Amino acid sequence: MSSKEFSNTSTGDAPADPYKAKNKDDPSLEEKIETLNNFVSYCKFGMMTTHNVSSNLLVSRCMAVAAKEGGGIDLLFHTNTESGKTDDLTDDPSINISFLNATGEWASISGSSSILTDRETVKKYYSPQLRAWVGDLGDGKHDGGPDDPRIGVIKVEAKTITYAVTRGNVVSRGVEMVQGALTGSTAQVNKLREISEDECKQWRASHQ
């Protein structure tokens, strides 16, 4: 693994990324998780990014969150087991799920994936709407029902999480932006939060 870091200049003692420094927010783990859970539930749809080994490219597609586990930090998604994303995840289980709303709030969840195909899990999270996505092939087996072997669940176990939610209201954020543009001061408009791998493990262990 390369340890090289990119740098195009030196800022001396001043922070090279003042936005991150000024907007960083580190409340209790419980508050960080609660805010994240509310945000993900509100967005519902996220972009799932996988690594396609054959092309060595990253591929993203929109996915709806089917359920949560691990106290809300582990996400589950329905999948057609015969799709390209399951091929990608079989070769490389590393995965990222990202969420974004119209106000610019966002979340990025990086972790490891597993493809669950046992019928107990599939039936637990099954939705009749899946028939519209996988279709009924008319062979009495691949009918889009809970026993259709094509229907599986992708579980994303979070390792690190970063997200940003807005501070204040539209007016106060607008004032911050105008002042920043006029004076060069960094705008404090977001709560930029990080949840480490150790924090994810701690939260998951206490919410089994």
- The region of weakest confidence among 1-15, 17-31, 33-47, 173-187 is 173-187
**Does 73 have pLDDT greater than 70?**
yes
Q: What is the pLDDT of residues 144-162, one digit of tens each?
A: 999 999 999 999 999 999 9
**Mean pLDDT over residues 16-24, rounded?**
76
Look up residue 184 and give its amino acid. Answer: G
Q: Which residue has tokens 């279709």?
A: 135
Q: Single out the residue of 69, 79, 66 nearest to residue 152, CA to CA.
A: 79
**Does 72 have pLDDT greater than 90?**
yes
Which pLDDT score, from 0 to 100, does residue 3 have? 65
Judged on CB neighbours under 10 Å (0-12, 13-18, 19+), 107 is buried
Q: Single out the residue of 106, 109, 74, 73 nearest to residue 192, CA to CA.
A: 106
Which pLDDT score, from 0 to 100, does residue 171 have? 40
**Does 142 have pLDDT greater than 80?**
yes
- Binning pLDDT at 50, 70 and 90, where does residue 139 land? very high
Look up residue 109 and give its amino acid. Answer: I
- Binning pLDDT at 50, 70 and 90, where does residue 175 land? very low
Which pLDDT score, from 0 to 100, does residue 178 have? 47
**Mean pLDDT over residues 66-74, rounded?**
96
102/20: higher pLDDT: 102
Q: What is the residue-averaged pLDDT of the chain? A: 88
CB 49 within 8 A of CB 96: yes
| H/E element, 36 | helix 29-43
Q: Which residue has tokens 């046992």?
A: 118
Provide the whole-model pTM. Answer: 0.85
